[in-house]
Amino acid sequence: MVVTLSCYGYACHQLRLGSFRIRRNRLQLSTGKILGENLVFCFSKTLGDILQDNYLKHKAKYPLGLLTKMTLNVPEWPNIIFIFLKNNGQSKGVSIRVCRMIDRFKKYKQAGSHSNSFRLTNGRSDDTELQSVPLLARSPSTNRKYPPLVVDKLEEDMNRRMADDNKLFREEFNALPVCPIQASCDAASKEENKEKNRYVNILPYDHSRVHLSSLEGVPDSDFINASFINGYQEKNKFIAAQGPKEETVNDFWRMIWEQNTATIVMVTNLKERKECKCAQYWPDQGCWTYGNIRVSVEDMMVLVDYTIRKFCIQQVGDVGGKKPQRLVTQFHFTSWPDFGVPFTPIGMLKFLKKVKTCNPQYSGPIVVHCSAGVGRTGTFIVIDAMLDMMNTERKVDVFGFVTRIRAQRCQMVQTDMQYVFIFQAMLEHYLYGDTELEVTSLESHLAKLYAPSAAGCGGMEAEFKKLTSIKIQNDKMRTGNLPANMKKNRVLQIIPYEFNRVINPVKRGEESTDYVNASFIDGYRQKDSYMASQGPLQHTIEDFWRMIWEWRSCSIVMLTELEERGQEKCAQYWPSDGVMVCGDLSIELKREEESESYTVRDLLVTNNRENKARAVRQFHFHGWPEVGIPSDGKGMINIIAAVQKQQQQSGNHPITVHCSAGAGRTGTFCALSTVLERVKAEAILDVFQTVKSLRLQRPHMVQTLEQYEFCYKVVQEYIDAFSDYANFK
């Protein structure tokens, strides 16, 4: 249930009361200090109740001194929570930070972010994913200085600032001047232009706004809600714009044409939380004319974190006929969650590199937009500038740069979470650098990795050691560590994280039956491409098949034998002949076929309660020895190709992958499948970041140095196998 917080009817002052958490219909407030005032909680199911009854329901006053913890019963789940701070009879609106659970379809998976925070709808811009605020009203100026940071001390400095729930980061963010200069917004405030603004308080300054050419007979047709923004050392490198409204789509394309823009960066989805964030300003296919600009779709590539669309645009007019055509590329980042920021900056850094690589050298400004054109837009621009500064000066000056671009457009970088995310991106780049490779350079890169070093640690080992330094978040494995579920884990060190664990439907009358030791894993083109699972135990076979049925998985990849070195590695979860019954499901073996390195089993899974049946194909790989890794990559390449062919025929539902613990061989398969798909599509590979991403989604994925080295070996074999090698040159 979506819960909205509102400061209805009052100006919103930025005061920090502490952290709120909604848990089992109780609102908890912990750690806050407000002296001599009363806090009034007002709950209502709908805004209509408030307007109709003209009074606040469910009042509960609490005198606040030094608060350590307070709990208040909530009448069911309110759609709107009114919170006011009373002082001498005068009410003030209050912005606070609230935690909320998001129901993402059936698996309740948070959309790529570990933050449960959500936006306050207080009449401010919808681009505010999270309103995180200081203890006291923010001062318009501060004497505190935040000089540039030397990158060699970036990690140490970040650890210090992130202590105590990012306390020092919040202080720094709140020290940013909201409006560094006294600037007018006269053009945006004109009556004729008010409808062109998506949000009433996000207006471009007159001195930095983009001027369109005036249309004859149309007053104020030179206005669009967009601002020129400087890059690191390049004047007006960007245009920060609001997401086009239906009424301003024509103006948006007119701006693209007049500014000679070749690249559009979109950092919002068209709808988020069922709210329109941006009008679709391009045709799905074919061509469409917007004003006097014809836009045709030339190509589209959908990837896990972003989509690339290529448009051909031309100006159409009566005088002089058609004008020359131009190519415009839109980079649409789709992995920004509805709330907070992305869980990891890896996807954003890949996205940014793609934008920088593809933007033509002599084109006009890069147009960047989200919904309001300040929060995510500002975050993208700052990351771009700070990467350039880091590479040039070995320093970063986030505070100074945000201050400067706020003088060009208000509220750039809108939340402290976005501010911290910028630093996380800087640290990610500093620690790991750019590890992408073109396929033509793989051979020389491997030569460097295998070259002996004076320290006695080769490049391959050093690269893998960076992966093993990634902290395993044991505190994020709550469900798997519950006493009722411990017996369902084959290896106690490999338990799924909460944010992406696979959730089974709950069986009536039983507790903890939604747990199965499996994690959703992102692929190259889409999220949740795989379900990485442990090999079923005898008493979890039913859970395994319920997972297969619930998530409509039609492909199972098995990377272990039932027994290895005298130890059980996986229970036999399919019948040798006849039918196996697992609760409501019946599994029947229809066909078994041996190939060079794997066995294919066609199974018919029937849900007896629903009277439905589905075909499931199992690929049982026999090429993995009991000790070490396969002698060559041919078998792995073949099984990956067979699975992908099966997916094309059965639909792109998650591929279930398991070995024994669901980490080492399972991670290796997922890594290779993802890397090889990218090699085919882009002739680019990044083994390091692929494995790093897997380890952030499930502990110990690609478990050993041998398995990591095997990933490189298989990719090299795959490239060498191409007869038309020129495709990769």
Exposed, middle or buried: residue 23 (CB in 10 Å: 0-12, 13-18, 19+)?
Answer: exposed
Catalytic residue list contains 287: no
pLDDT tens-digit series, residues 331-360: 999 999 988 999 999 999 999 999 999 999
For 29-77, give the DSSP string: EEEEEEEEEEEEEEEES-HHHHHHH-S--S-EEEEEEEEEEEEEE-SS-
* Predicted confidence (pLDDT) at residue 228 exceeds the cutoff of 50: yes
pLDDT of residue 281: 99
pLDDT of residue 173: 96
Residue type, 359: N
Tokens 């078998």 found at: 635
pLDDT of residue 120: 29
* Predicted confidence (pLDDT) at residue 217 exceeds the cutoff of 50: yes
Asked if residues 83 and 42 have their Cβ atoms less than 8 Å apart, the reply is yes
Known binder of ligand: residue 115?
A: no
Tokens 């306050």 found at: 120
Q: How far apart are CA 114 and CA 499, in angstroms?
A: 7
322 secondary structure, DSSP code:
P
Radius of gyration of the chain (CA): 28
**Domains of the chain, with CATH numbers?**
1-141 (no CATH), 186-432 (3.90.190.10), 471-728 (3.90.190.10)
Query: Can you give the length of the chain in residues?
Result: 729
Averaged pLDDT for residues 248-261:
98
Catalytic residue list contains 370: yes
Of 7, 185, 410, 659, the active-site residue reads 659
Of 370, 410, 554, 711, the active-site residue reads 370
Known binder of ligand: residue 233?
A: no
Known binder of ligand: residue 651?
A: no
Known binder of ligand: residue 632?
A: no
* Predicted confidence (pLDDT) at residue 108 exceeds the cutoff of 70: no
What is the H or E stretch that residue 645 is in?
A: helix 634-650
Known binder of ligand: residue 138?
A: no
* Predicted confidence (pLDDT) at residue 245 exceeds the cutoff of 50: yes
Averaged pLDDT for residues 306-311:
98
pLDDT of residue 469: 87
pLDDT of residue 321: 57
Averaged pLDDT for residues 174-198:
93
Known binder of ligand: residue 376?
A: yes
Give 505-514 contacts, CB < 8 A, sequence gap 24+.
505/106, 505/546, 505/550, 511/484, 512/479, 512/482, 512/484, 512/485, 513/543, 514/479
Percent of the chain with pLDDT over 90: 72
Tokens 């039983």 found at: 510
Known binder of ligand: residue 112?
A: no
Question: Which of 65-79, 295-309, 546-560, 603-617 bottoms out in mean pLDDT, i.e. has the lowest?
Answer: 65-79
pLDDT tens-digit series, residues 660-696: 999 999 999 999 999 999 999 999 999 999 999 999 9
pTM across the whole model: 0.80
For the chain, give the mean pLDDT.
Answer: 83
pLDDT of residue 506: 84
* Predicted confidence (pLDDT) at residue 142 exceeds the cutoff of 90: no
pLDDT tens-digit series, residues 315-334: 997 555 567 999 999 999 99
Of 578, 622, 642, which is closest to residue 604 (Cα–Cα)?
578
